[in-house]
Chain A
Amino acid sequence: MSEPTLNEPMLNVTNLTAGYGPVSVLRGIDFYVNKGEVVVILGANGAGKTTTLRALSGMIDTGGSVTFEGEELVGQAPPNIVRKGIAHIPQGRGTFPELSVHDNLEVGAYTRKDNEVDADIEKWYEVYPVLKNRRNQLAGSLSGGEQQMLAVARALMGRPRLLLLDEPSLGLAPFLVQDLFERFGRLNTEDGTTLLVVEQNAQLALGIAHRGYVLEAGQIAIKGTADELMHDDAIRRAYLGV
C-alpha cells in the first residue's frame, strides 16, 4: 500500500468483478480516471460496459475495490455513492417521466443543502432554453433529444465531480449526438468535470477523450491514450468501421 499522493487517481478500480445472480459479467478489471480527465470505455454489446458503471454506482453486487478520492465505494448503497460526488446517467436517460421538467431538475439537486439550487436551475434553462419552455410539462412527454438534455442537466444539478455516462448517443439523431458530445467536451474543459463515458460510437467518444479502454467479454483487452486507440488497427477495424 502506498501513501495517497497528489498523483493518486480520482477513481481507482482494481480487480472489479460484478454480475447478475449466478452470471458473472465482469471478470476482474482494472482502470483509473484522473481528476479532470475524460476516459472512455469502448466495447461491443454484452462486453460489460453498462455493468461496469452500474457496479461503480453500487447498483449490483460487486467485488474487488473501487476508490473515489481515496474512499472505498464497494459495498456502499447507491445514494451514499451519489453523495460522495458521482453522478450516473443510465442508459435510456433515467429521467422521471411522471415528474415535470422542473421537478426533475430539482430532484437532481436532492443531495444538495446549499441555496444556489434555483440559480443552477436557471443556468440550465439558459443552456437548454427548450427545457425552460417545457418546465411544467411531464418529462415523459419530451422527445428523446430533450430527455437527454434533461438527463444531463439533472445529473449536473447535483454538482458531481465525476460524471458517469452510459451510451449517451443511444437512440439520438446524429446531429443531436454531435451537439451532445461537444457539450460534454465543454463540460470537461470549461467546468472541469471529470467524465467516464461508456460508448459504442467510438469515433465520437475518442474525439473528446484523453484515454480509453476496450472491454471484451468482461476483461480489459486494450488500453491507451485516445490518440493511440484512434490509430490502433484492431480498434479501427472492430469499432470505427474503417
Chain B
Amino acid sequence: MATKYILAGTQQHRIWKYATWGLFIVVVMLVAFAYVDTGTIDIGDNSYNLSMIRIAKAVSFGVAILGLQCVVGFTGQVALGQSFFVGTGAYITAWLVADHQWPYLLTLVVVVPACFLIGMLLGLPALRIKGLYLALVTLGMAAVFPSIVKLDAISDQTGGSGGKSTAESKLVSPEWATSIFDGIAGVLQAVPLVGQYFGDGDLSEREADRMWKFVLFIIVAAICFWIVNNLVKSRPGRAMRAIRDNETGAAVSGVDLAMTKTLAFGVASALGGVAGTIYVMEVGIASPDDFTQLLAINLIVGLVVGGVGTLSGAVVGGLVVVLIPDWAASTESVAGVPERWLQGPTGSFLLGVMLIFLTFVMPGGIVAGFRKLRARYVQVVPRPPDGSVPAAFAAATAGPATDGEAMLSNESDDELVHTGSDSGSNDE
C-alpha cells in the first residue's frame, strides 16, 4: 500500500487525529458490552473469563500511569512510588464512602487536592535528590505504604490489615442509564453474526450497574487525559519537557525548577489518587497488600511498555499490566509448556521479561512501535510557520515518492514525544 501524506493543521489532519481516539473508545465500549454479558471465551482448552473488573482495573492503572507520564515521562524525574498515591486515593475514597456515606464520585473532591498536596510535599525532597537516589527513595515509599495503613493508631479509619471495605454502598445505575444500556445492547444483539457475542435480552440489574460504573470510569479517565493533554502543551508542560531534556538548560532559560517539579509531582500524585478512587469503586475494598512496591513496579512496566512520554502509552500500559497477568492466570494448558509454569505468577514473569525485551527492541514502547507501523501508511507532514505547503509534501503527493519518503520518515520519528519538539505533541 502506498504511503498517504497528510498536511499538518488541515481538516484532514484533525479528523485523522481524533479518528484514532474515537475508534479506540468505540472499540472499548463494544468490548464492554460484550464483556458485561458474556461470561467466558474459550480458546483451545483454556477459558478466559472476561470480567469487566479487569477492564475497569485497566482504566484505573491507565490513569495512574498517566500520572507517571507527567513526572517520569515529561519531567524526567525517576519517581517509582506511584502505588503510594494510588493507595492514598483508594483509602480516602473507601474511608469517606464507608464511614461517612459519601457518594463515590464526590470523594474525588477530597482525593484530588489531598493527593496533589501530599505529592507536592513528598516531591520536595526530589528537588535535592536526583536520578537513582530518587528512584530508591520513592521505591522505599511505595514499600512503606502497606505498613502505614496497617498502623494500629489509624486502623479504625483504614481497617487495619483486613482492608477497608465499601461493599455496603453500592453504585447503582440510574434508571435512565439502564434503559439506554438496554437499548444499545438490544441494537448490538440484533446485528447478524456478531450479535451472539453481546448476549441476549435486557441487561440484568448487575450488568447495568457494571455498565454504569464503567461509563463513569471512562468519563473520569477521559477528563484526566484531556487535562494532561492540555497541561503538556501549556507553558508549565513545556517547562517540564525542558527540564527532562536539559535541566541546566531549562534553569538558565528561566524555568522555575522547584515550581515545575513540585507541580509535576502534585499532578502525578493527584492522578494516582483518582486511579485509587476508580480502583475502590470497582473492587469495593482498599486493602493494604494491593498497594505494595510490586504495584509500583507494575505501573512502571505499564509506563515503559506503553511508551514513556506519550499519553496513549498510558492507555496501552494500563491494559497490558492488567490483562497479561490475567490472561496468563487463565491459561491452564499450552502445548509444550509444563503445567507448573502456567499455575504460578506467570503473568508477572512475562511482564518482567517483556519490560527487558522492549527496552532492547522498542525503547519507545508499544505506542512507538505502532506509530512506526502507521507511518508506513499515513504520514503527517508538518507545515512551516508561514503556512505554505512544504515542497516535500507537494513532491510526495504529486509523484512516486521515493525521495520524499526518505525525508519524511525522519519527520515522523519526531512524533515520539521524546524529541520534545512541537510536532511531538501529536498525541491527543
Physical contact A–B (CB less than 8 Å): no
